[in-house]
Amino acid sequence: MTETHMIPAPPRRLMPAGLICAALRPILDRVVRRIARHHPDMFARIAPYQRADFVIVPAELPFALHLRPDPKAPLLRAVPRNRLPHHDARIEGRFHLLLELVDGESDGDAAFFARDLVISGNTEAVVSLRNALDDVDGSIAQETADLFGPPGRAILAVLRRRSKRQ
């Protein structure tokens, strides 16, 4: 037997989605509270849909994000893909595309018409969310990375480089 046959195949899932979601809970809570505090205009812009539930599904990840942009009780949490909560709108695409959309680097309309972005449910709510994100000065992704200091900025830089290669 050669040496390569002795190395076991990597496990399909290094960590169950439920554990990933639990680990992300305090991070996402911190992120959404900071965004709500620093960008009240964004929440005002999405006023008709502040209590709408959005599910954002990165196609390659075992979890989705549940967002409710209520400025009094903002919610951003990771949920296992096989247990999505009730939602008003669903946004699905590759992780890197979703990051570029939040970062203001991609055109959501072009991605939608190219079928790289799938939207279902209340499309008016999704357009309102997109417009609110577009009106933010700077980058929500960069602000989030800055929240976690040098490690956060390094991770975002790696994600952006990978995004450019795809």
pLDDT of residue 13: 52
If we measure between CA atoms, which residue out of 81, 69, 63 comes closest to residue 24?
Answer: 63
Measured CA to CA, the distance from residue 106 to residue 67 in angstroms comes to: 20
Q: How far apart are CA 82 and CA 98, in angstroms?
A: 20
Which residues have C-beta within 8 Å of that of residue 86, sequence separation ≥ 6?
53
SS3 61: coil
Give yes or no for residue 148 having a pLDDT over 70: yes
Distance of CA 56 to the CA centre of its chain: 6
Q: What is the pTM of this model?
A: 0.84
Does residue 149 have a pLDDT over 60? yes
Using one digit for the tens of pLDDT, what is the confidence trace for 17-71? 889 999 999 999 999 999 999 998 988 889 899 999 999 999 989 999 999 999 9
**pLDDT(121) > 90:** yes
| CATH numbers and ranges of domains, the chain | 15-136 (3.30.1050.10)
Per-residue model confidence as pLDDT tens digits over 88-111: 999 999 998 998 888 777 788 888
Using DSSP bridges, classify how beta strands 54-58 and 89-93 pair: parallel, antiparallel or unpaired: parallel
- Work out the pLDDT band at 14, boundaries 50, 70, 90: low
Residue-wise pLDDT tens digits, 65-93: 999 999 999 999 999 999 999 999 999 99
Instruction: Say yes or no to pLDDT of 12 above 70.
Output: no
* Residue type (1 letter), 55: V
